[in-house]
């Protein structure tokens, strides 16, 4: 077996000393994008608070082997879960003295699981509906589509206005039918950071007697603080009549390590169908509020420690730093001719597109990467142009001044290089190929030509050609191509 520190094979003939193993992990980690330092605008949420990582890691270790499967066996975990749910409920318009005093919830592994469970609860509340359906804006997170797919719930997608990037409430109301079990909206949407018209959508859902879920996975922990800082945040939480459930991810803007989200319901009756219970076997009766049964206490304890340490005043301070960073980044974008903000920032996303074909966005992303700034390209979709997404966290605040010059310099380099021109054959292929016509040989050839897969453990730094190819393809072909490409990466390298 391979004993090189390459991640080749995890099981050596003989066990290795702890120090050596940690060295291996640090070597592997050195290949990653930087999780700290305020230059990575997706995937990570960094408050840049000294000592917080160490605190969370210690708390994680203290509870890593505790099992959330049985809250009676591990009351420590039950207490911490209830405390997290209580904090989220109070922040989002529920709890004592509010109009939603009976809010309850569950701690899940992340936003996707929270959304799947919101859809499951809505579906299972209506066993009489044989073909349940979910109404969701086109800007809703892809996890709603995943929930619909896993749970065999039909998906009714309401388009978003290309100007406001929001769904029309009247169109949303019109999409609600007798089989609709849930209407969803976002506060804010991930892609563009805009807040949907929650009040009108929730009213339409309530009028039809249907549940309404607000996906605040991304923004649920910052919007209340931004509001306190004077930002005009429209009503989006349990203060809005008709909102029946809300999701908020603690591993995003609550700055907890990965693996923690909270799904809240307005009352216990709404939550009841979320549980899975099974007593019809000879083992223990299984009662699960979440998809996983055995659950590590690590992420929950780490989140608990993070909230206790940062406190309400800490989150307010971090939200102020983030608000200032957003303003600075948006100004930097406005100063580059040929770039346009997709929307005026109203939360913690800065998203921009190009108005000048010479300013190829995918090349711009690569040029920024080459300068140490890691942004997220978004492909064009249903009349919306390709764009660049920046998730802004508090750590960015100290780096904003450097971003403007880097962006201007990157844009200059893009203009000098010119846009990506796909070979005619590839462009035709992307425009005409149907997903089922993709053969392994074709994918292998494409991947090799694009520098993907093979024996390389990681994709290449320059992705503009790949992104241009994907952008030219319809969503179904994009999905299939990426499944194949990622499949090439996710293989053991013996």
Interface contacts to ligand PLP, rule CB under 6 A: 110-112, 115, 141, 143, 186, 190, 215, 217-218, 249, 261
396 burial (CB, 10 Å; 0-12 / 13-18 / 19+) is buried
- Residue 114 CB, shortest distance to ligand PLP, in Å, is 7
Neighbour tally for 9: CB within 10 Å: 13
Dist. CA 226–CA 272, nearest whole Å? 33
Dist. CA 468–CA 475, nearest whole Å? 13
- Residue 309 CB, shortest distance to ligand PLP, in Å, is 22
Point out the residue whose Cβ comes nearest to ligand PLP: 111
Dist. CA 263–CA 85, nearest whole Å? 8
- Residue 189 CB, shortest distance to ligand PLP, in Å, is 6
Dist. CA 214–CA 238, nearest whole Å? 9
- If the CB atoms of residues 190 and 352 are measured against ligand PLP, the closer one turns out to be 190
Dist. CA 424–CA 413, nearest whole Å? 25
- If the CB atoms of residues 43 and 278 are measured against ligand PLP, the closer one turns out to be 43
In sequence order, the β-bridge partners of residue 132 are: none
H runs (alpha helix) in 214-297: 223-228, 268-271
- If the CB atoms of residues 190 and 373 are measured against ligand PLP, the closer one turns out to be 190
- If the CB atoms of residues 223 and 477 are measured against ligand PLP, the closer one turns out to be 223
- If the CB atoms of residues 396 and 443 are measured against ligand PLP, the closer one turns out to be 396
Dist. CA 486–CA 472, nearest whole Å? 19
- Residue 11 CB, shortest distance to ligand PLP, in Å, is 30
In this structure, the dihedral spanned by the alpha carbons of residues 155, 201, 388 and 489, taken in order and rounded to 10 degrees, is -30
- Residue 110 CB, shortest distance to ligand PLP, in Å, is 3
- If the CB atoms of residues 141 and 266 are measured against ligand PLP, the closer one turns out to be 141
- Residue 121 CB, shortest distance to ligand PLP, in Å, is 16
- If the CB atoms of residues 306 and 468 are measured against ligand PLP, the closer one turns out to be 306
- Residue 191 CB, shortest distance to ligand PLP, in Å, is 9
The sign of the dihedral angle between the CA atoms of 435, 436, 441, 444 is positive
Q: Which residues contact 333 (CB under 8 A, 6 or more apart)?
A: 339, 340, 341, 350, 352, 407
């Amino acid at each position: 077996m391979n004993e090189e520190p390459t991640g080749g094979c995890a099981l050596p003939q003989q066990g290795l000393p702890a120090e050596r193993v940690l060295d291996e992990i640090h070597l592997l980690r050195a290949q990653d994008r930087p999780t700290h330092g305020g230059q990575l605008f997706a995937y990570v949420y960094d408050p840049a608070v000294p000592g917080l990582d160490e605190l969370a890691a210690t708390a994680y270790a203290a509870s890593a082997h505790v099992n959330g499967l049985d809250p009676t066996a591990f009351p420590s975990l039950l207490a911490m879960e209830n405390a997290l749910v209580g904090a989220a409920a109070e922040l989002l318009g529920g709890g004592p003295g509010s109009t939603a005093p009976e809010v309850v919830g569950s701690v899940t592994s992340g936003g996707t699981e929270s959304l799947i469970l919101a859809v499951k609860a809505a579906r299972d509340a209506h066993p009489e509906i044989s073909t349940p359906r979910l109404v969701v804006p086109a800007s809703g997170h892809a996890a709603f589509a995943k929930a619909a797919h896993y749970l065999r719930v039909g998906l009714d997608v309401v388009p978003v206005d290309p100007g406001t990037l929001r769904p029309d409430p009247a169109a949303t109301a019109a999409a609600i039918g007798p089989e609709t079990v849930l209407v969803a909206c976002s506060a804010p949407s991930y892609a563009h950071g805009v807040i949907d018209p929650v009040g009108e959508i929730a009213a339409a859902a309530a009028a039809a007697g249907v549940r309404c879920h607000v996906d605040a996975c991304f923004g649920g922990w910052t919007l209340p603080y931004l509001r306190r800082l004077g930002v005009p945040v429209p009503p989006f939480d349990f203060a809005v009549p008709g909102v029946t459930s809300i999701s908020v991810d603690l591993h995003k803007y609550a700055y907890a390590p990965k693996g923690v989200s909270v799904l809240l319901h307005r009352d216990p009756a709404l939550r009841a169908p979320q549980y899975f219970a099974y007593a019809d076997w000879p083992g223990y009766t299984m009662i699960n509020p979440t998809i996983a049964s055995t659950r590590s206490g690590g992420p929950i304890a780490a989140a608990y420690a993070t909230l206790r340490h940062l406190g309400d005043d800490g989150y307010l301070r971090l939200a102020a730093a983030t608000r200032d960073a957003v303003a600075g980044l948006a100004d930097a974008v406005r100063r580059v001719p040929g770039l346009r903000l997709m929307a005026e920032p109203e939360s913690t996303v800065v998203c921009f597109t190009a108005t000048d074909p010479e300013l190829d966005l995918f090349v711009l992303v690569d040029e920024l990467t080459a300068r140490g700034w890691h942004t997220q390209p978004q492909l064009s979709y249903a009349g919306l142009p390709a764009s660049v997404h920046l998730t802004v966290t508090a750590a960015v605040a100290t780096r904003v001044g450097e971003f403007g010059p880097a962006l201007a310099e990157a844009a200059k380099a893009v203009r000098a290089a010119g846009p990506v021109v796909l070979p005619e054959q590839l462009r035709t292929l992307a425009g005409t190929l149907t997903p089922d016509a993709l053969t392994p040989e074709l994918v292998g050839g494409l991947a090799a030509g694009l520098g993907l897969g093979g024996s390389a453990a990681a994709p290449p730094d320059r992705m503009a050609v790949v992104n241009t190819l994907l952008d030219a393809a319809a969503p179904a072909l994009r999905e299939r191509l990426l499944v194949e490409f990622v499949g090439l990466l996710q293989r053991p390298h013996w």
